[in-house]
Amino acid sequence: MSVYKRYNGKRITSKHPAYSKARWWVLKRIRGHKTIHQVVPEARTKEEAELAERQLVRAVFEKAYKIIDTTTTFTDFVESTYRKYVEQNNVNKVAKNLYIRLLVSFFKNTKLTSITPQDCRDCRARLEKQANRRSKGGLSYSSINRIMSTASKIFSLACEEGILDRNPMQYVKALPEPPPRRRLLTEVQKEALWKELEADPLLYRLILLAVNMPLRRGQLLALDENVIDFENERVWVIGSKGRPPRAVPINATAASVLRAMIADKQLPFPITDFRKRWHPLLIRAGINKKGGTREENYHFHDLRTYFASELIRRNTNPLVVQNLFAHSDMSITNIYAGTEDELMLEAVKRLDKSNQIPVLSKPRLSQTATVSAGR
């Protein structure tokens, strides 16, 4: 029997008292080794269940003989397949959902098989003109490349499912991205920052924790007394980008700040106007410019670079820095672990102290050069 009703895990007949509310199931063996065995909750009659059986068999046949499905639209595939992929594999689900929304707004109900490389380039051009809440211009090239990379992954999954025979994004080049902006403060800027922070004790404590702990702003603002273990010098922080909560070590400076905040009943941080306090402070310190662009200005997230660079300055093992940041790859850590110009200058000056290389007072001319000079 290819279709049957099942109740409480057992096959039943029409004589069973629960037959009317039991669900239809499909059990079909193809060529003796391929088995379709699944529930059809939408079926109300045997005829509907048999119709579902035929559709399932047809899907197996088309996949086995690589018959391309020409009816699946971009939106349908995203909702049925790619969203599951995001839930199972990606860590930054918030960003992926934003990319999905932008791509769906362009491709909409276009059939996957009809999307061409030029369509992808048109999508990219539209994103370049897309208004950005943080700037007057369009999206940055880096953001557009990430969005188009998501489109490429969607098409790759469609190829794996047998819907497409090639990825149209493979013919679309990435936009040239500008060099990464400078994220490190000079010694003068550091002094100016801490001087301005003296007028805002609560913000001062937040920044002091940020340069002593590898946490993002949201994680710092969410700290409370219950997640702090002073005895074992650990803090349990909420996960970020889909990751689970983790334990982060705290030094004496961070522990002192946290104890003072608990005594003053300032945890979680009672800051509701962070941007109104942080950006004007950077302008007063001469670090940011009034009306400066996102690429020109210094951001709170750049304090993670401050933290990493101080560790590197003290010759901390890069693997330790990677684990502190909970990065899956060292290449991500390298973005934060910048090197100051002073450290690079100090490194090359160490060669001046070496006596192993003789210094020649006057270069020796070759015989050929001597003859040429005599002529």
Please give the Cα distance from 160 to 154 (Å, whole number): 10
Output phi, psi for 37, to 5 deg.
-140, 100
Burial class (CB in 10 A: 0-12, 13-18, 19+), 306: buried
Q: What Cα–Cα distance (Å) separates residue 226 from each residue in 142, 236, 262?
A: 39, 9, 10
Confidence class of residue 172 from pLDDT cuts 50, 70 and 90?
A: very high
Q: What CATH superfamily classification does 187-347 receive? A: Intergrase catalytic core (1.10.443.10)
Helix/strand/coil percent split, the chain, to 5: 50, 10, 40
Sheet holding 10-12, edge to edge: 10-12, 3-7, 23-30, 34-40
Confidence class of residue 136 from pLDDT cuts 50, 70 and 90?
A: low
pLDDT at 104: 95
Instruction: Check whether 154 has a pLDDT greater than 80.
Output: yes
pLDDT at 100: 95
Mean pLDDT of the chain: 82
Q: For a pLDDT cut of 70, what percent of the chain falls above it?
A: 79
Please give the Cα distance from 225 to 114 (Å, whole number): 57
Instruction: Check whether 356 has a pLDDT greater than 80.
Output: no
Instruction: Check whether 351 has a pLDDT greater than 70.
Output: no
Q: How far is CA 126 from the centre of its chain?
A: 23
The pLDDT tens digits of the residues spanning 277-335 come to 999 999 999 999 988 877 788 999 999 888 888 888 888 888 888 888 877 677 666 76
pLDDT at 165: 81
Confidence class of residue 367 from pLDDT cuts 50, 70 and 90?
A: very low
Q: Strands 34-40 and 228-229: what pairing?
A: unpaired
Confidence class of residue 253 from pLDDT cuts 50, 70 and 90?
A: very high
pLDDT at 72: 87
What would the two tokens of residue 366 be?
């070759």
Say whether pTM exceeds 0.85.
no
Class of domain 74-171: mainly alpha
Confidence class of residue 42 from pLDDT cuts 50, 70 and 90?
A: confident
Domain map (residue ranges) of the chain: 3-64, 74-171, 187-347
Instruction: Check whether 38 has a pLDDT greater than 90.
Output: no
